[in-house]
Structure 1
Amino acid sequence: MAHRSGSDGADFGGLLREARETQRISLRELARRLHYSHGYLSKVERGIRRPTAELAQQCDTELGMRGALVAASLSSADNIDVARLRPAQLPIGPRGFVGRDQEMARLDELISYDEQSGGARVAAIDGLPGVGKTTLALRWAHEAQAEFPGGVLFADLHGYGQTNQAADPGDVLEHFLRSLGVPAEQIPRELGMRASLFRTVLQRERVLIVLDNAANYAQVQPILPSSPGSVVVVTSRQRLSGLVIEAGAMSVTLAPLEADEAVSLIKSSIGRRRATENHDVLARIASSCGYLPLALKLAAERIAWRPGYEVAELEQELAAEEDRLDLLAAEDEPRAVRAVFSWSYQALTEPVARAYRLLGLYPDDEINVPGVAVLAGVTRRQARFVIDALASMHFVQHVAADRYRLHDLLRVYAAELVAEVESEQDRHAAVARLVHRYLGSLVSASRAMGAYRVQPVGADEVADVEIEQFGDYDSALAWLESQRQTIAKIVELAVKHGFHDEAWQIVVLLWDYLQVRKPWGVWVRTHDLGLRAARAARNEFGEAWVLNNFADLYRRWGELDRAEHDYYRPALATRRRIGDRRGMGWTLLGLGFVALERKDFESAADHFRAQLVVHREVGDKDGEACGLACEGTALLGLGRLAEAEDRLLRAVVKHRDLGDRHAEAWTLTQLARVRVGMGDRDVGLRYFDQASGLHTEMGDVRSAAEVYEEKGGVLHRIGRVTDARDCWEKAVALFDRVDEAQGTAARARINAFTTGHADEPQ
């Protein structure tokens, strides 16, 4: 590979050559014994390629070096930089890799790059399902990853699978940006802006990006970085001509393995004795499998897993199912691999087979042990047993400490089996357990994040399933952050299977998380589904809650007419009709906020006073505290500063007593404005400091930035220019973390203020 340090593997290579020549073993013979290509081993021996841990161990064992080669490989490795973690997202590397020397050499060419090329180098690997596109990409990526100091990113784009719902490039960009350290609330909602932020974050980095199972060029294009030296490897079942034409991608089309390579692939998994004794039978098995790596590996697994199993029996099974083993003769046709999957499936015990079938109901590509336990209705100990059994048979892939991934084709097979074998009643019960687990866990999370708030959903509405329990705010927020995409898919599953009441309840319980992190995509997706679910259930109480919370999103986006007329007004009408007084109060509060945004302070004050009356009537202390703060803000807008201060000070005390730090911070900002308006700027500045500290503590970066910007304006007006610029620099830095447009807009506002062309930035 180009641009590899010649000393990286020199010590290992020299020792390897010395040991090999001492034993009079040619490099080609050693390569044959180890099942590596001669060319690759030659590069390792010459110090051009870095030895992998697997290769070092194999060489050490084959040459009888008693650990000397392993030690040499470790001493050649780069030191780990513990100062800054870099993404390293590759799944576990493939074992038993054979052949593909030509394709590996072509991919090596990606490492050579021109700093003036103006963009990343791209490879598009295409071929029929099961041909080994992902295996090749991962094998090369694991060997090449040391060449990319910026790290390695990986995403399955789900271009082909059970639901034919390809991954949204915007969601992939969100995942990558989060992996690179960008918090969720700072990621813009528009695809173009996410792509721009991604390119900006990687501008000076050299990274490797592997995009697996792409649907088309349009899905991949937004995810391409522009940094020279970065490399993108894309796999797809179809040839991505657009990627070749527009991005200048290297096209690598994979064919099935050569006959001898296919036999070697089977032999690498079944043990030396059986491989030696059954060479001719294995050649016929490989031919029946069409030399397709996926089929070959599954056939080898069937042989290896059953020591007493005669290899010839498998040859006969293949012959008996000849029509069904015309493997993947048509592009995008999954039915031809069904027989191959069935061989391994039939070897499973019934509890393990049942768990696998039920995975066909699970809506996400990854699941953990508690999820398997609930889905199958078994204990965690039993779930651990079945998931380990499935992992050993390669039905699932172990990707993290307690995370397992089900491949798309195996999910299709599981979905077919669950529909064929499990009764409708059992399928319904499994989905119910899963949905109720998430509903119950969200009740627990909502209580941890907002114990002061009267929740619209309680534990008595959740079925008796094991749920997540949270002892504090931080643990609840962390769980919600890790599960936000899965929760959206659970809501979709609930709607699909008729659990409409559970669906809208899950959506409403996301409120506290959405307020803090503001993941716009999840907010829109879940509330679209929640509204549909509440209406399908004819549950006006739930419909009003979803409408109200959906309105808050559009208000934050500045779409005030839509927020008021499409959401708040219908919610208020419904709540009046059904007598939901507490809900009425929150909708009146929302309408007051809309009036505030329009600077119609009289109308805002009227709405807030009406809301206060309602919430005092029903004994909602949280609502009363919010109403006081909002009335004070409206009075501030009307210039009635003394009255405003009175309301706001009372609200701060109530928020503190309740433990609502988010509302307390917002109220302190209003108090700061009042004191500045009264001429008491020192007290006002202290209120700003308290507000920004609370916002930062809660992880609300956007609100903290807004406070810093406003405080900077006050400081500038009283002549403390240096302090003002310090505040503005903090504000801009935080806005930049939110999204590129926010940072640009903040700079423009601050520049206009400092040049005398605008009022104080806020």
Structure 2
Amino acid sequence: MGSTPRRGVDRMAYSTQPGHRMLLVLDVEGFGAAERQRNPIQEAVRDGLYQVLRWALNAANISWDDCYHEDRGDGVLVLIAPQVPKAPFIESLPQMLIKALLQYNESAPRPEERIRLRMALHAGEIKHDTQGVTGPSIIRAFRLIEAPALKTSLAQSPGVLAFIVSDWFFEEVVQNSSIDDPSRYQPTTVKVKETTTRAWICLPDHPYQRETEQLTEISAPRQLPARSGLFTGRIRELAELTASSIVDAEFKGTTPIMVVSGMGGIGKTWLALEWAHENIDRFPDGQLYVNLRGYDPSGAPVAAEVAIRSFLEALCPSQRDIPVGTDAQAALYRRKVADRRMLILLDNARGGAQVVPLLPQSSSCTVLITTRHQPTELIVAHGARPLSLGTLNDTEARELLAKRLGPHRVDAEPDAVNDLVSYCAGLPLALSIVAAHAAAHHDFPLAALAADLGDASARLDALDGGGLSANLRTVLSLSYQALDAQTAEVFRVLGLAPGPDIGEAAAAVLTNLKPDQARTLLRRLEEAHLLQRYLPTRYRMHDLVRLYAAEWARQDDQALGKLHGLISYYIHAGYAGERMLYPDRKKVEIGDAPMEFELPSFTDDSSILAWFDQEHPCLIAAQTTAERLGWETQVWQLAWTLHGYLWRRGHLHEQRTTWEAGLAAARDLDDATIEGLAHRLLGQAYARSQRLTEALEHLYRGRELAKQTGDTHGEARSYYDLIMVWRQQNNDRLALNHAKEAFRLFEPLDNLVWKAEALDRMGWHQARLGQYDDARSSCEQALALFRDARNRQGQAVTLDTLGYIAHHCGEYDQALDQFHESLELCRDLGATYYEADTLEHLGQSLAALQRRAEARLVWQQALRLNRTQERAADADRVAQQLAELDDESVN
């Protein structure tokens, strides 16, 4: 790492007393590489190393201030205070270093400032002389850090850390750890200079491949919900699932697909989860789970594209690795699960069309599906093995009641138990509710409960797949009648709540109660097994229970008004968050928020995105509900509220579908202003999805309506949005004309950002046409406006354009400065789309300056980002530049 003044603290314990110490040596990979030869970069890397090391040691409860540290040639030596235990150096420090390195590298302004580390751990006697600390143990530690096998391990790893421990440390610390796994360490013989010794290497964020299992790119996802401790019977069905999975995997060489079908409430999910947990050791590379909600009362099954996106969020280390397009996401999902021994559990599917896109093309994976329909399509087209699930037999039903109520209570009233078993007709859900009611009234005789069940009348209509017996209606009625009046009212109205679940704040709005009151009543419903609290503040109902609750809600004259209030809450809460995310977006009129509910308190972008991440399925379902009920105003308002979030997160499928519904609602309202807005934003969504013909159709119509209604902003924004289409078609002259027209219309509207955006686009396309003086003037005006408005994304884009102009004018040093400043902003904002463009342009300037190694590095980064974002033409262009660079190096 070069010779620099020693850094560290001279403690009395180290300066005067020899003794046994824990030694830590670290080295930055490639510190002396050509791209780091400039002194400011080496200094930045050195400072980054100390920043990372200080944070990681403190996070692992190892005080940095109590350590002695100094630079030694190519390494940093750290001596640990004698009272510090050694176990944290393998049990927590590596993960803290990895976390700190990833955070530091994410924020590094230049690629060459990013850090990967080698680390050596040893312990032994040290002493102090005029040159610092000395001793054979220190020499041994530095020999370990120079081990060729350690350098090779890190070079071949996609991770950021590789460490080596001495043989003594392995035997005394690693093998005696109650947390660390010694099998993660690979033995090696270190031969450096006069030293020959045995040591052990570990790659904590990229483990060594074992003979029996393949490497995984990230930690194996574990998405299975918990199994029930009350699972009963189904011995034959469990064995049949196991036999089907083994036969397909071993003899057919195709993906084992098992489909459990049956009526609602029969226990399909119960069985699937029990089998999955019983066989979890067969799937060491992870388990994926999704509830496809094929029969959700809201009528909104989970689209395959949405399910794939959720799987990728579990499979990818960062959302930056997930491409934008749905086809690219599907292809990445198949690659991620290929050759991995994984279980994919697709719960509550509606039919083959919903699950076929989720099937992997790998015989190493196993797929388990639950559905209410017979899986004929999957059997014929994909060789799925069906398992039709019937009811529990009487013995199994009694066993379930005994597990819930205790054997003594069941044995004491055999006739009453026989009646209960008969009334429940072997339906696990019905038996569970009966048992819950009996457990809540442990002093009631079971005979009284059986008598009540016999007297009740049937109310629940038949469901798909054969229908439900009247007994389930009786059980649900009994549970409902046992509620007090206020809790029963909450139960009824929850049956109308859109979405897969509901949060406590939304439930308070829906029930028109104070949050504390609502929370108390939700807990009562949870205790009655009519509601499940699956997260600390979120609840969901079983589909059948919700249908029953909705029946009662439809008899309540005030229920629809409460539902309207909930959807209004979703709109106003989302609108408040959206305004903070995009303060320069033109406001729309949604009315004042009702006084009776309190909106979420958002503090920053992260809190807003977290709220949307959790609530957006409910907002999507709320739009579907509003559409079904003819509440057109709420339909388009929900589309508008969700637009920015869906754009930021890359949920293109939902962005299109919400605005397709929003446009239909706007047409029904016969409001040309709202219809023009809907056309334009739907056109935006189509353009981003590269569906350019549809994008043009809607953007042109949006522009026409804006002109008719005198909406100058809408007309200007239509011109601006059309630039996205022309740029993808490489029509720079038409794009420039549209940018000028957008600026002309924006100029009198007194919004700095709108004018700056148009000026920046003018500058880009002027530069593309070779009009460099005009381009620079346009961009300098844009940059000034963006800075006045404190809009950092606009600054990043405009700095890139200015760098592009400087490059083409031969001003390479100026171009480099502008590209680096743009990159710093892009990375701080997470604007990976613009980062890819700037990296490409930076590489061009570096190549022009004959700095080929640096150009190759940034072009490789640009290529990766373009491929991740499904930008095929851009990726091909960067790849061609890389190939030409390599040809020049050879010649």
**TM over 0.5, yes or no?**
yes
Instruction: State whether residues 300 and 624 of structure 2, in contact with CA within 8 Å, keep that contact through their aligned partners in structure 1.
Output: no
Map 1:83-232 → 2, pairs under 5 A: 85-109=219-243, 110=245, 118-162=253-297, 165-181=300-316, 187=322, 193-232=328-367
Instruction: State whether residues 87 and 151 of structure 1, in contact with CA within 8 Å, keep that contact through their aligned partners in structure 2.
Output: yes
Structure 1 partner of 2:635: 503
Aligned with 1:290 (options 421, 425, 436): 425
**Letter matched to residue 541 of structure 2:** L
Structure 2 partner of 1:587: 718
Structure 2 partner of 1:696: 827
Structure 1 partner of 2:659: 527
The answer to whether the aligner puts 1:378 opposite 2:513 as a matched pair is yes
Q: Secondary structure at the match of 2:529?
A: coil
Q: Secondary structure at the match of 1:234?
A: strand
Aligned with 2:818 (options 687, 694, 703): 687
Deviation at 1:717, TM superposition (A): 5.1
Structure 1 partner of 2:792: 661
Could you report, residue by residue, the CA deviation over 1:608-664 in whole angstroms, capped at 9, with x for unpaired residues?
333333333221222122122122223223322122112212212221332322222
Structure 2 partner of 1:24: none
Shift of the 87–755 alpha-carbon distance from structure 1 to 2, 3 Å rule, reads closer
In structure 2, C-alpha distance between the alignment counterparts of 1:327 and 1:594, rounded to whole Å? 51
Deviation at 1:138, TM superposition (A): 1.3
Q: Secondary structure at the match of 1:510?
A: helix
Instruction: State whether residues 604 and 634 of structure 1, in contact with CA within 8 Å, keep that contact through their aligned partners in structure 2.
Output: yes
In structure 1, C-alpha distance between the alignment counterparts of 2:620 and 2:460, rounded to whole Å? 38
Structure 2 partner of 1:18: none
Structure 2 partner of 1:487: 619
- Stretch moving more, 470-479 or 710-719: 710-719
In structure 1, C-alpha distance between the alignment counterparts of 2:350 and 2:703, rounded to whole Å? 44
Map 1:532-611 → 2, pairs under 5 A: 532-564=664-696, 566-611=697-742
Deviation at 1:454, TM superposition (A): 4.0
Instruction: State whether residues 646 and 655 of structure 2, in contact with CA within 8 Å, keep that contact through their aligned partners in structure 1.
Output: yes
Instruction: State whether residues 445 and 469 of structure 1, in contact with CA within 8 Å, keep that contact through their aligned partners in structure 2.
Output: no
Aligned with 2:876 (options 745, 748, 756): 748
Instruction: State whether residues 793 and 829 of structure 2, in contact with CA within 8 Å, keep that contact through their aligned partners in structure 1.
Output: yes
Instruction: State whether residues 452 and 659 of structure 1, in contact with CA within 8 Å, keep that contact through their aligned partners in structure 2.
Output: no
In structure 2, C-alpha distance between the alignment counterparts of 1:446 and 1:358, rounded to whole Å? 28
**Letter matched to residue 759 of structure 2:** L
Deviation at 1:243, TM superposition (A): 3.1
Instruction: State whether residues 461 and 467 of structure 2, in contact with CA within 8 Å, keep that contact through their aligned partners in structure 1.
Output: no
Map 1:343-354 → 2, pairs under 5 A: 343-354=478-489
Deviation at 1:156, TM superposition (A): 1.6
In structure 2, C-alpha distance between the alignment counterparts of 1:749 and 1:115, rounded to whole Å? 45
Deviation at 1:282, TM superposition (A): 0.3
**Letter matched to residue 538 of structure 1:** D
Deviation at 1:119, TM superposition (A): 4.4
Structure whose residues are more often strand by fraction:
2
Deviation at 1:749, TM superposition (A): 3.1
Q: Secondary structure at the match of 1:92?
A: coil
Structure 2 partner of 1:725: 856
Q: Which has the higher contact order (CA 8 A, sep 6+)?
A: 1
**Letter matched to residue 629 of structure 2:** H
Alignment TM-score, normalising by the size of structure 1:
0.81
In structure 2, C-alpha distance between the alignment counterparts of 1:512 and 1:749, rounded to whole Å? 30
Shift of the 315–474 alpha-carbon distance from structure 1 to 2, 3 Å rule, reads closer
Aligned with 2:573 (options 422, 441, 445): 441
In structure 2, C-alpha distance between the alignment counterparts of 1:746 and 1:584, rounded to whole Å? 30
Q: Secondary structure at the match of 2:294?
A: coil
Alignment TM-score, normalising by the size of structure 2:
0.70
The answer to whether the aligner puts 1:738 opposite 2:869 as a matched pair is yes
In structure 1, C-alpha distance between the alignment counterparts of 2:607 and 2:700, rounded to whole Å? 36
Could you report, residue by residue, the CA deviation over 1:365-422 in whole angstroms, capped at 9, with x for unpaired residues?
11111111111111111121122112222222222222222222122112211112x1
Deviation at 1:160, TM superposition (A): 3.0
In structure 2, C-alpha distance between the alignment counterparts of 1:718 and 1:480, rounded to whole Å? 46
Deviation at 1:330, TM superposition (A): 6.5
Structure 2 partner of 1:455: 587
**Letter matched to residue 227 of structure 2:** G
Shift of the 397–143 alpha-carbon distance from structure 1 to 2, 3 Å rule, reads farther
Aligned with 1:705 (options 836, 840, 845): 836
**Letter matched to residue 608 of structure 1:** A
- The RMSD of aligned alpha carbons is 3.3
Shift of the 419–174 alpha-carbon distance from structure 1 to 2, 3 Å rule, reads same
Structure 2 gaps of 5+ residues are 1-177, 185-203, 206-217, 886-891
Deviation at 1:674, TM superposition (A): 0.8
Q: Secondary structure at the match of 1:361?
A: coil
Could you report, residue by residue, the CA deviation over 1:465-502 in whole angstroms, capped at 9, with x for unpaired residues?
32223222222233233333332222222333343233
Could you report, residue by residue, the CA deviation over 1:170-214 in whole angstroms, capped at 9, with x for unpaired residues?
221122112223766765676654432212111243222221122
In structure 2, C-alpha distance between the alignment counterparts of 1:334 and 1:699, rounded to whole Å? 55
Report how many aligned residue pairs link the two structures: 676
**Letter matched to residue 709 of structure 2:** I
Shift of the 187–711 alpha-carbon distance from structure 1 to 2, 3 Å rule, reads same
Could you report, residue by residue, the CA deviation over 1:651-710 in whole angstroms, capped at 9, with x for unpaired residues?
122213323222222222211211111111232233233333333332333332233234
**Letter matched to residue 629 of structure 1:** D
Deviation at 1:115, TM superposition (A): 8.2
Instruction: State whether residues 323 and 329 of structure 2, in contact with CA within 8 Å, keep that contact through their aligned partners in structure 1.
Output: yes
Could you report, residue by residue, the CA deviation over 1:232-288 in whole angstroms, capped at 9, with x for unpaired residues?
221122332443444444433322222222111112212344222112320232123
In structure 2, C-alpha distance between the alignment counterparts of 1:557 and 1:283, rounded to whole Å? 60
In structure 2, C-alpha distance between the alignment counterparts of 1:736 and 1:398, rounded to whole Å? 41
- Stretch moving more, 450-459 or 379-388: 450-459
In structure 1, C-alpha distance between the alignment counterparts of 2:250 and 2:812, rounded to whole Å? 53
Shift of the 338–194 alpha-carbon distance from structure 1 to 2, 3 Å rule, reads farther
- Stretch moving more, 265-274 or 79-88: 79-88
**Letter matched to residue 835 of structure 2:** A
Instruction: State whether residues 516 and 698 of structure 1, in contact with CA within 8 Å, keep that contact through their aligned partners in structure 2.
Output: no
Structure 2 partner of 1:54: none
Q: Secondary structure at the match of 2:279?
A: helix
